[in-house]
Every structure is written in structure tokens, then in C-alpha cells.
Amino acid sequence: MTDSIQKNQMELVKIIEKFSEQDGAHATAIPSLFFLRRSTVTELSHSIYKPRICIIVQGAKEVFLATERFRYGPSDYLVVSVDLPVSGQVTEASRNVPYLALHLDFTPSQILDVIRDFKIQVGKNENANRGMFVSPTESSMLDAVIRLARLLESPSDIPALAPLYTKEILYRVLQGPHGGSLEQIAIDKSSTRLIRDVIEQIVNNYDHSLRIEELAEIANMSISSLHRHFKEVTAMTPIQYQKQLRLQKARQMLLSEPTDAADVAFRVGYESPSQFSREYSRMFGFPPKEDIKRLRENYDETINA
């Protein structure tokens, strides 16, 4: 790690600590920028990652996409290019040296704008690319991240400068070792772009029965090609993807609403509450009622600590 990267990370530590005094995820005055803080190592949690760049400035984390493990810390960053159901945990954190990180959300249209504005030569890639990757942190990208974060000290500059610094950060990622994987989500008719359309269809209709023929038609692929490319991007089949999506949505409902497992099972698309309970237990390690009770107790303990 170079001296310039360490210097920028130290400044980022100060900024994140200033704007996130408590553990948790914190929105900032820049709509696409979020800070994260954890004072302890965490258990495995499940969430749906939207397209984002994740940068750790202190501590470490590992994220699981299906059976694949992605480990990263201050020397690298993680990029998610499509909506992905993942699980992850903070692996290095303490009260004296908390886990501090940020993530910057982006859209495919922003990627396309960068490609067009900077006249980036896009390579032809017939094969779909994994929707998540880890790359080494470079000082040029971190310079742009620092300038973006500094805007929180001068909010009046955010509307004019945040879009410019965000565009520079995306440009740096596109110029990095995995830039080709990111650019493919925005290129019309690329396999990754077509799978992104399929993912959008599943996300928007996760509570409906999955018709593989319909998804293949959306992607303009044969069923076998759809399965192959979908797995390349997400590390899972369309049915496995939908199942993870349904179970995560169900867990959110159970946590936030006065409802029961049977009702939620039907709402997320299950025909059998018993099947829902079995698959829920398999994914989260506990039956729905016990899991939600445990999560609420852990949340109360965190708040009262």
C-alpha cells in the first residue's frame, strides 16, 4: 500500500467517524453515498446488493455470493454491477478500531455516460461476466473518493461537484483490471446486459411463478444459454436467485410488520407454508418465529449496549 493511499484512508477514517458516530449504515447529504460503522465482528447477515462500489478504510469484511467468497479490506474494493442477493460479515472490528467503510451507488446509465463522455473503447465480449468482483485500490481512484467525501463539509458544493467526482470514480473503476466486466452491464445486446434485464424481471415479479421460457424470451436466448449466462453473472440459477430473493423479502416483512410466517409465505409466492419454513430455516439457520425473535433481541442488545 502506497503512502498516498494510506494518507487518503486516514482522512477518510476521520470523515466517516465524524458523520457516523453510531454503529450501522448512515445516509449522507450525497444521495448515492453511504457510510458504515461496526464496533464488533458481526454474524453472517443477508441482504440484496444494488449496483455499488464498496470501499473499506478500516477493518475487513467477507461477502458470499452463492458459494463464492469475496474477502476485502483497505487494500482493495468490491464492485457489484447487478442486483445480487448476498450474505456477508465484518471479520475485523473493535471498539478502539471500528470497521469503517463507504459504498457509492450507481446505475447502468451512469456507466454508459462515462463510456460515451470519455470515449472508452468497449471490447466485444460474448460471454457474460460475474456481477461482483474485487480489485486492488489505486491512489487515483481514492483521490476522487476523498474529494467526494470532502463535499460533506461544504454541502452547497454537492449539487455541482458530486456528479463530477462520481463520474471520475466510475471512470477509474472502468480503467481498472475488471473494468470490462462493469462496462458490459451498459452495452446494448451484451450477454451481461441481457441478463440484467432478466434479473430486473425476477426482482420486479419475485412473488410470481417463474417461467423460464419467458425469461429466455426477454434475453433473446435459448433456455440452455440463459441458464449458462445467468449463472456466470449471479453464480446461481434463476430459480435459486428467486428463492433467495423471496426469503430475504420475507425476513424483512417479518421484522417490520405485525404478521406471521404463513401470511408472509403466501405474499412472497410460496404455495406451502411448511415448504417456506423449511427453506427459511435452511437459509437463515432458524425457523421464522425463532429467527425473528433472535434478531429483535440482538437489535435491542445493540441499542442498549
pLDDT at 17 over 80: yes
Give the 3-state secondary structure of the chain. Answer: CCHHHHHHHHHHHHHHHHHCCCCEEEECCCCCEEEEEECCCCCCEEEEECCEEEEEEECEEEEEECCEEEEECCCEEEEECCCEEEEEEEEECCCCCCEEEEEEECCHHHHHHHHHHCCCCCCCCCCCCCCEEEEECCHHHHHHHHHHHHHHHCHHHHHHHHHHHHHHHHHHHHCCCCHHHHHCCCCCCCHHHHHHHHHHHHHHCCCCCCCHHHHHHHHCCCHHHHHHHHHHHHCCCHHHHHHHHHHHHHHHHHHHCCCCHHHHHHHCCCCCHHHHHHHHHHHHCCCHHHHHHHHHHHHHHHHHC
The letter for the amino acid at 271 is E
pLDDT in the model for residue 303: 33
Residue 96, CA distances (Å) to 11, 119, 170, 182 in order: 17, 46, 32, 36
Mean pLDDT of the chain: 93
pLDDT in the model for residue 126: 61
Q: Which residue has the higher pLDDT, 119 or 14?
A: 14
Kindly state the average pLDDT of the residues 16-23: 95
pLDDT at 49 over 60: yes
- 60-113 confidence digits (pLDDT tens): 999 999 999 999 999 999 999 999 999 999 999 999 999 999 999 999 999 999
Residue 123 burial (CB count, 10 A): 10
pLDDT in the model for residue 300: 45
pLDDT in the model for residue 4: 85
pLDDT in the model for residue 63: 97
- 193-212 confidence digits (pLDDT tens): 999 999 999 999 999 999 99
pLDDT in the model for residue 215: 97
The rounded distance, in Å, linking the Cα atoms of 197 and 186 is 11
Q: Give the domains, in start order, of the chain with CATH numbers.
A: 3-182 (2.60.120.10), 191-240 (1.10.10.60), 247-304 (1.10.10.60)
pLDDT band at residue 188 under the 50/70/90 scheme:
confident
